[in-house]
Amino acid sequence: MARARFAAAMVFSLVYVQGVAQRDSLSESSQNGLDGRGYLDSLSRQMPGMAVTRITADQFNRGNIHHVLQLIQGKVAGVSIVKAGGDPNRDFEIRIRGITTLGYGSAGTGIRSTNENANPLYVIDGVPAVSLANIDPLEVESITVLKDGASAALYGARGSNGVLIINTKRARQTGDYHHASYEGFLAVDQVSNLLPVLSAEEFVQRGGLNFNSNTRWTDEILRTGFSQAHGLGLEGRTGQTDYRIGVQYRDVEGIARNSGFQRLATHLGVHHNMLRDKLRLSLEIMVSNREETNPTRPWSSGSSIFEQGLVYNPTAPVYESNPATGGFFQRSFFAFYNPVAMLAQQEFEATRNNSLVNFTAAYDLLRNLSATVQYGSEQLMQSTGDFYAIEDPVRGQFGNGLASRSLDERANRFLEAMLHYRINFRDWKMKAWGGYANQVSSIEGFSASVTQFLYNQPGFHGLDFGANRTSVNSYRTDDQLVSWQAGAEIIWKNIYSLTLLGRTDSYSGFGANENAGFFPALGVGIDLDQLAGKTPSDWRLRFSYGRTGLLPVDPLLGIRTFLPLPTTQPDGSVVVNIVPTRDSNPTLKWEEKRELNLGFDFSFFKNRFLASVDYYKRTMDDLIYFANTQVGEQNIFLPEESSIGLVYANLGSLNSWGWEFQVSYRDAHLGSVRWNSTLVATGYKRARVESLSKNGVGQRELTAGGQGSVGCCGPQIFRIKPGEELGEMYAPWYTGLDGNGQMQVSTDDWDKYEVVGNGLPQWELGFTNQFTWRNWDLNFLFRGAFGHSLYNNFRRTYEVNYTTVVPWNSVTTPKNIGSTGFNHYASVFFERASFLRLDNITLSYHFPGMAKNYVRVKAYVTAQNLFTITSYAGMDPEVRYADSLEIFAPGSHQLTPGLDRMNQYYPSRTFQLGLQLFVR
């Protein structure tokens, strides 16, 4: 293991990269201040004793990657990154060390979602709480993950879900040079798995309703998706100034027709040193535009082309001569819609414009004292448009067409000022820092919907063509976070290290009685091999403890809010009344997490074999949820206020623990082939509910998760109650079929339902390998998740051997139980979904140096999602951490993992050809 060495002109520190200690060197001048990325960013990569992982560009995943989180999927122990299906417009879900919150908030408008407070804090070039949409994956230089509570305490009341620090690419800081680079690829996507259904002939033989055609509906709505990406980079250094310009263009087609996006992004970075390097200036500007189309309304709970594409009648034709249906075949059965007509008669588009400007100035006041100031400004704008044609039977026919528009904007301003002091004295190395930060954010937007059109044109671009205004809404929220922070790091004899952190956050969204929260942290590291003297191996012990927080997702949760309620008077006039929506709570504060981490890192064979083990235990208290109160009674949190029956409060508590492992072997020689291999694995003890109430206020238990089948409603799937783990699914046990082929279950009493599965995984792993032979490289990643279950909604709804005439098709998986009537909600439709997947494999060729090595070229081919080993009968066994389509308990997404909905985008497989070009 690399040991820390200190000298007058150069400082070496220990940086843990996936649990592996590596040398990291910074010049004394840059150690005294900032390198333009934010001081806390630089510090977080060095904190001894804490669980910090840094992944650099050469370790990133390859393939048709269009989201920053894809770069590190399967690369970091304790970090779970998932996305079910192949929707190019859907975000990835990420959880660091599992669940830390109940995830409930009332904000669900525009660009802030109810699931937002389940995500980690994102920091780009030192600016916290910004969107990943600001940056293109090709411009990322490194991603640092703060996993434990101690390191995340750097960000105080926003650190409980962990922190991802993303650094963009910048020019080399030594020597004068100029060079250009290009990276681009072409990719094709195809559907990788579909549920088996009856052919037209089999459907007729079963007695299905026959319309005398033969249509494979998935062929009608799917395509081969062609995608391309191109990135151009120009960078260099002249004298004391370095620069980088990056431009990226992406055109991505999904496998479903009418799905995909186009994105243009630019990045400019300029850095200048002056006054003999005492003053260092940095400017980063990122601007992007994204235009996307969707085949179904995003996050809609209604019927989608993905449901109808599998189960629409296979004997029905696509078209028929009927002006009332727009020339498409349609019949009036429940939830029975021609999917090709849906594609033609529904429009869903979105435009997103993002910008992030970041300026940093660092100045060395004295030899060992520096000051830094950083200012960041983020602007996000999202515009959406939906249109259902007059002939559309899903929503259009009910109002003679339906159009809606929305516009949402977010502004984010960040200012930070820091002082940093360091001193070396004999066997002691010490540094201390402190500073102030202020972040102000605002979100605002409006939306409008109209019906009653005479014509379908101009769609959602012409709301004034609709005669009936069905809704008009607008909103705005503002919030501010003011922080003071300080810390110190002490190293003695390069053996013992101690890091102390403290941060105070004051937030405008806290209740009037809660001014600020304090978030301390402690990290201790011991270099055991240094302690024992020279040994053939390296050993290091780490210990950390930290307290972090989580802000309310809506800064208005603690105050009484009002909504307009229009009422029609007897004379026909409309009066708008104002009604309260919730009670005030002046005691509302942050959610709080306390976390202990123990780590052990060791290496053998001259650092060729490296391993790391971490154990963590965490307790989450004061979780925010709503409580029902007695209407008209005294508000329990504000006695002078009369209760309206609903209040948000800090009610819940959870606890969890887990293990993280990493084993690496580097530079093994198999003849003339070099081999590098890394295995990361995480074992989770699912979060257990300790309490859902506090001081007599709260819930006995929570329920969530609508079944969402054609049978519609009924008991909800999830029960969240003290003493039980999050993610547990309840249902009656399937006991067999009666003599008529009807399903039998253990009970019809909802109170007697039992746990039949859990939507959260118990283990996850990533297995990365690289083989190098001459100019050839072969890289591949296996990724797996184990122990989770999925509710297979397709099987429950459509896997029936009907004996009566029905219009829709049947699903026929190998797990078909053979029922002949409507399927009962039961345990048989909850399946274990453990899987192991070849996520990506890349073969690269490095062309020999051209033009006296002034030109370097690498070509590569990549395949993604080549195969999956699983017993799950659905299309994709991927973990679902959140149910984005939940409608029966709005906002409870975090509480409903493991639901395989019928409007899930089909999974896809990708093949890619790429080229990298470097010219100096």
Lowest average pLDDT, out of 312-326, 526-540, 663-677, goes to 526-540
Measuring CA to CA, how many Å separate 547 from each of 228, 511, 519? Answer: 44, 20, 5
Mean of the pLDDT values across residues 228-252? 97
Percent of the chain whose predicted confidence (pLDDT) is above 70:
91
Residue 12 scores a pLDDT above 90? no
Residue 300 scores a pLDDT above 50? yes
- Predicted confidence band at 116 (pLDDT cuts at 50, 70, 90)? low
230 within 8 A of 913, measured Cβ to Cβ: no
- In this structure, the number of other CB atoms found within 10 A of the CB of residue 568 comes to 9
Residue 45 scores a pLDDT above 80? no
- Predicted confidence band at 130 (pLDDT cuts at 50, 70, 90)? very high
- φ, ψ (nearest 5 deg) of residue 797: -90, -40
Nearest residue to 557 via CA among 600, 595, 508: 508
For the stretch 186-220, pLDDT in tens is: 999 999 999 999 999 999 999 999 999 999 999 99
Alpha carbon distance 112, 441 (integer Å):
12
For the stretch 378-411, pLDDT in tens is: 999 999 999 999 999 999 999 999 999 999 999 9
Residue 11 scores a pLDDT above 80? no
Residue 32 scores a pLDDT above 50? no
Lowest average pLDDT, out of 130-144, 445-459, 527-541, 558-572, goes to 527-541
Mention every residue, 6+ apart, whose C-beta is less than 8 A from residue 841. Answer: 778, 779, 780, 781, 862, 863, 866
**The predicted structure's pLDDT at residue 2:** 36
Peptide bond into 639 cis (omega under 30): no
Alpha carbon distance 92, 909 (integer Å):
17
For the stretch 692-706, pLDDT in tens is: 998 888 888 988 887
- Predicted confidence band at 354 (pLDDT cuts at 50, 70, 90)? very high
Bridge partners, 677 (sequence order): 665, 769
Residue 673 scores a pLDDT above 90? yes
Nearest residue to 483 via CA among 165, 121, 145: 121
- φ, ψ (nearest 5 deg) of residue 454: -85, -30
**The predicted structure's pLDDT at residue 628:** 86
SS3 of residue 873 by DSSP: coil
Residue 715, token pair as written in the block: 């008991």
- φ, ψ (nearest 5 deg) of residue 312: -70, 150
- Predicted confidence band at 20 (pLDDT cuts at 50, 70, 90)? very low
Mean of the pLDDT values across residues 886-895? 54
Residue 850 scores a pLDDT above 80? no
Mean of the pLDDT values across residues 822-828? 93
260: left (phi over 0), alpha (psi -120 to 50) or beta: left
For the stretch 761-819, pLDDT in tens is: 999 999 999 999 999 999 999 999 999 999 999 999 999 998 888 899 999 999 999 99
**The predicted structure's pLDDT at residue 878:** 98
Q: How much is the pTM?
A: 0.93
> Which of the listed CATH numbers 3.40.50.970, 2.40.170.20, 3.40.1360.10, 3.40.30.10 matches domain 10-210+223-654+663-919?
2.40.170.20
Mention every residue, 6+ apart, whose C-beta is less than 8 A from residue 436. Answer: 416, 417, 482, 483, 484, 485
- Predicted confidence band at 4 (pLDDT cuts at 50, 70, 90)? very low
116 vs 606, higher pLDDT: 606
Mention every residue, 6+ apart, whose C-beta is less than 8 A from residue 848. Answer: 775
Percent of the chain whose predicted confidence (pLDDT) is above 90:
75
Mean of the pLDDT values across residues 416-424? 95
Residue 16 scores a pLDDT above 80? no
